[in-house]
Structure 1
Amino acid sequence: MITLKLATSLDGRIATASGESRWITGPAAREQTHRLRAAHDAVLIGVETAIADDPALTVRLESYSGPQPARIILDSRQRLPRAGRLAGTARDIPTYVVTTRPLDPILAEAGLRPVLAPDLGEGRPDLVEVVALLKAAGLSRLFVEGGGQVAASFLRCGLVDRLEWFRAPLVIGGEGRPAIGALALTALSAAPRLRRVDIQALGDDIWERYERI
């Protein structure tokens, strides 16, 4: 089961043109995101997000005492910073690097675990095979929090089962960074379709939940 999470402005932007994104949504939405993380086996992002934000990707709730989800980074060129929080805590929380070539010994020494995926060209991993490899490793409930390109890749492959969309009451404009990258659609009939199953207010934000049709 793969869940895609988006936290956007009303016009579907996740950051300004300069990359500023903290915080688009409010405290209640961020708390709910942590609850959703806790309900999954692993949190997945792209390496661009890892470089830009240096996230921990942990569950940070005052009353939470359960296990931390594994972390997965899509990183074909293995650019994950060795001094970052993900690499620095890889021996404490299982952390996987999805790559198309053998793992750099420096990253392996830090405790990062390789997921070697077939190369679809230009270093792009085969996400369908990646999901199968992760399932074989016991990670069958994935929470995708990556940037627009990662979101688009999962949608293009038909891998998104659920969408958790948090929308904040602000407008960033066309120069902002989109929540979903190009899907290369030529007709509306080819667009991924989902069914809304819930909507509720979280402070000033709106939380919408969708499932694949």
Structure 2
Amino acid sequence: MAEADIQRQVCEAQENWRQKWHENGDNEIPFVTLTYAQSIDGSLAVERGKPTLLSGPASMKMTHVLRTLHNGIMVGVGTVIADNPSLNARLAEGSNPQPIIIDTHLICPTTIKLFTMSTCEKPIILFGCGSQDSAILERKRTLDALGARVFECNTVLGGDGRVHVDLRDAFRVVKQNGISSIMVEGGSAILTSCLQEATQRHFIDLVVVTVAPTFVGGLRAVGSLLTPSTAAATTPFPRLMHPRYHVLEKDLVILGQLG
């Protein structure tokens, strides 16, 4: 029952989004769902590079069902390197989403499952380190030859003082390539960047967080949301409006729209 309620609420949010943008005539970016699983103390994993299974079977299946409701699934290259995920919907019936990798410096390995397993879709890779560098051009050609679609995006200076792909531009690029809805699944850097951006401009439409009743004390799911442009501002932090709570076996699933 809880899984069906979550699925229905996601579908309703997507339909409301479609109606809103149809009326306003401004839909340059897709519908974006931010989703991840964390421990009760806010950890994604024991430490960076060591995947930690937190979700129970029911919430894991729910996540795969949600994947079938989106055209694309986005992760950062750090997650790809650490977890080597399949990014498909093997635990649910329906279509697999298009894998999308945010990879500012184009360091994505060529040996990952997305390239080597027939059950995985070839990824879209979005980089932002400049296409004039000969080494980057050669890297792009290699990834293209493996079946990836590689696009350059604008960059921004992140709260950590480093250059990152501008996520709004990344969403615009994938929308231009036929992706109308995206699940952003992490890792920590992408989740933090999305929520930092959400303090200044809207592009996250829905948030689904699974909380496992486990203490890990490890890698934080979300880092500081303060940036050079928001540290002294009075802009409120992102907050879920009218959140809904569902229990799936031992896990708590929190779902809501950002206000």
Q: In the alignment, which of 146, 156, 164 is matched to residue 110 of structure 1?
A: 146
Q: Is the 8 A contact 1:80 1:87 kept in 2?
A: no
182-191 vs 35-44, greater mean Cα deviation? 182-191
184-193 vs 156-165, greater mean Cα deviation? 184-193
Question: Within 2, Cα distance between the matches of 1:138 and 1:18?
Answer: 33
Q: In the alignment, which of 182, 200, 221 is matched to residue 179 of structure 1?
A: 221
CA 1:8–1:85 in structure 2 vs 1: closer, same or farther (change >3 Å)? same
| Structure 2 spans left out of the alignment, 5+ residues | 1-30, 132-136
Question: Within 1, Cα distance between the matches of 2:69 and 2:97?
Answer: 8
Write out per-residue CA displacement over residues 11-44 of structure 1, whole angstroms, 9 at most, x where no aligned residue: 1110113643331111111000000111001000
Deviation at 1:123, TM superposition (A): 4.1
Q: Map of 1:119-130 to 2, 5 A cutoff? A: 119-121=155-157, 122-130=162-170
Q: Map of 1:66-145 to 2, 5 A cutoff? A: 66-89=94-117, 93-100=121-128, 101-102=130-131, 104=139, 105-121=141-157, 122-145=162-185
- AA paired with 1:25? S
CA 1:94–1:87 in structure 2 vs 1: closer, same or farther (change >3 Å)? closer
Write out per-residue CA displacement over residues 147-205 of structure 1, whole angstroms, 9 at most, x where no aligned residue: 111001111222221110100111122xx111112211647753112214321111111
Write out per-residue CA displacement over residues 129-158 of structure 1, whole angstroms, 9 at most, x where no aligned residue: 111111111112110011111001111222
| Structure 1 spans left out of the alignment, 5+ residues | none
Match of 1:135, SS state, is helix
Deviation at 1:91, TM superposition (A): 10
Q: Map of 1:1-213 to 2, 5 A cutoff? A: 1-17=31-47, 19-61=49-91, 64=93, 66-89=94-117, 93-100=121-128, 101-102=130-131, 104=139, 105-121=141-157, 122-158=162-198, 159-173=203-217, 176-184=218-226, 186=231, 189-213=235-259
Match of 2:156, SS state, is coil
Question: Within 2, Cα distance between the matches of 1:21 and 1:92?
Answer: 20
**Whose radius of gyration is greater, 1 or 2?**
2
- TM, length-normalised to structure 1: 0.90
How large is the RMSD of aligned CA atoms in angstroms? 2.1
Deviation at 1:90, TM superposition (A): 8.5
Name the % identity: 30
2:20 matched residue in structure 1:
none
